[in-house]
A and B are shown apart, each in its own frame.
Chain A
Amino acid sequence: MITQEKQQTKTFVRFSPLQRFLHLVAMLGFTGLAITGFSLKFSAQWWAHSFAWLVGGAGHLAYLHRFFAVITYGCVVVHIIWLFYFKLVLKGSITGPQSLFPKVQDIKDMFQHMGYFFGKRRTPRFNRFTYWEKFDYLALFLGMNTMGLTGLFLWFPEFFSTLLPGYFINLAQVLHLYEAILAVALKFVVHLISTHLRPETFPVDKSIFNGKTTREKMMNEHPGELDSIEA
């Protein structure tokens, strides 16, 4: 019992303060974007209607959407600057085994993990980031850039239609809508389940908010990283 308590008190830093802050801002920005965006898309529905009325009409809805877009994309910019800083100044590795860089091993891990779902195999020895965490990160990283680009098309159609034919505005609209549906369907359901709501972590995994994780959790979920730290 005592040893277990000792083990639990030993904590590891999983997320730096900057990462936690960026996650918080992006989380709020993303939620704001989803609410304001879908209030326009589904503006024929009563709930969207009443939300638009609450914020003061279509003009304010557009303003809020762009405000959230700017702060959310701001996170991406800060993150990219940090990546350069991490690589060039701190001499860190952004493609190594403990990074978020996708590898062939992730696909193998995925099949092994799905084998575990059906009771055929053991859980893979995950490194610092599992394949679903990498997917979450990369999908959001790519998504924010494409959503940002298509969003700019819709924000400044007069400018972009001088560079490209007008129907690219329509294509941007289609991509913006479907990527939004994809992002919301993944982030608000799959991301929440895999981080907080599945029985192992329920009700909440605080590590993204306080940055800490326990040795026990590391042993269960990121044994590969624990080995590399303690080696």
Chain B
Amino acid sequence: MKALMVKSKKWLPEQKCCRLRQSNECYGGRIGRRLLFCLMLFSALLGSQCLEAAITPDGQPGWFVDMGRFAASAHGTFSCEQCHGNMKRGGTMHPDSENPAFLKAYANREYNYQRCQSCHKPSYEQYLEGAHAKALMKQQTDSAAESHKLPKSKKAPTCGNCHSGHYTRAHLSRVEIGRQMVSVCGTCHPAQAATYLDNYHGKAAVNLGDKNAAFCTDCHGAHHCFSLKDKKTALAACQRCHPEATEGFAQVVIHPTIQDLPENDTEKRAHVALIRVVTLLMAIMVILVVGFFYGHSFVWILRELHEKLRKHK
């Protein structure tokens, strides 16, 4: 405390020199610049946190690894080097403090996910066969500048976009994984998540925790993530739980939304439109009938009350 007092007393008179901005002996100016730098660094960290928060599965990622949660995760027994290698890139240590670009780097994209396959080979191969990898290839072959402009939700995901390497827990129940899945898939496919939750499958599985009901990957395939626009693939997916399903059954609309539906898919667009029109008509009918009879009952009660009170007089 004494030292502080001394210190503050010491530089108080020297504050005058703040007017002389060029002066080397200006402590105040230096402190101000340092404060500004710290503020910028802090806001950069905060900004990057916000950006990543939008995409990672558990909703609480950060610039730093929360070692408590990491230790409880499926990868908790690993050392950093086991996944991140020797932390060198291009001859320099990975968090290269000399290079300010590392602050802008998007950790999920910087990481080399080929490392995952050393332990998760089947999943990795399924991913390579699947729709997400196909989208990634397409975006990479398209001009790099254009794919850079894409919003985050449209960028093809790699492992880390769906799985949090640091915090994914092991031995979750089927329902726990499924519930996480709906929010993870829903980050980029919100309309599909919403329509799924409005469907019997979603209600039974997510809301009521029925482990026999289908979650996202039960139909679309874990890591394959097929769109199921192909009728044969769709039917095969249905038949996993509904062995008696036929071609017509695969036409049942599970996601009645035209979000992300290609323009030329007129068949499904027509079905969705029909479902919406019928829903609207039914809603109008219900409102009219219920409105009429509620009014009818209300006025009737008023009249009978009036009659009763008049007789009592």
Contacts and interface: CB of A to CB of B under 8 A. Distances in A.
Contacts of A165: 248, 251
Given A117-B300, A171-B278, A43 B208 contact: yes
A52 interface: yes
B212 to A, nearest CB: 7
B282 A116 contact: no
Contacts of B296: 114, 117, 132, 190
Contacts of B250: 166
Nearest to B199: A173
B301 A199 contact: yes
Given A169-B252, A199-B304, A43 B275 contact: no
A49 interface: yes
Interface residues of B, number: 46
8 contacts: A49-B208, A59-B212, A157-B249, A166-B249, A185-B286, A186-B289, A198-B300, A199-B304
A194 B253 CA distance: 41
Interface stretch (B28-36, B52-60, B81-89, B238-246): B238-246
B300 A174 contact: no
B248 A178 contact: no
A181 B304 contact: no
A158 B242 contact: yes
Interface in B230-264: 242, 244-246, 248-253, 256
A182 B289 contact: yes
Given A49-B208, A199-B304, A193 B285 contact: no
A189 B252 contact: no
Contact of A185 (B203, B278, B290): B290
**Chain B interface, >50% SS class:** helix
A170 B275 contact: yes
A58 B305 contact: no
A199 to B, nearest CB: 4
A58 B251 contact: no
Given A43-B208, A175-B278, A161 B297 contact: no
Given A57-B210, A178-B282, 10 more contacts: A114-B296, A117-B303, A161-B245, A166-B252, A170-B256, A185-B290, A193-B297, A197-B301, A199-B307, A200-B304
B250 to A, nearest CB: 7
Interface string A128-140: 0000100000000
Interface residues of A, number: 48
Interface in B23-51: none
A171 B274 contact: yes
A57 B209 contact: yes
Nearest to B253: A170
A166 B142 CA distance: 37
Interface in B273-307: 274-275, 278-279, 282-283, 285-286, 289-290, 293-294, 296-297, 299-307
A6 to B, nearest CB: 22
B293 A161 contact: no
Contact of B253 (A52, A119, A166): A166
Contacts of A2: none
Contact of B246 (A57, A162, A178, A200): A162
Contact of A174 (B213, B275, B307): B275
A59 B207 contact: no
B197 interface: yes
Contacts of A182: 285-286, 289-290
A40 interface: yes
A167 B242 contact: no
Contacts of A159: 244
Given A185-B286, A193-B297, A57 B275 contact: no
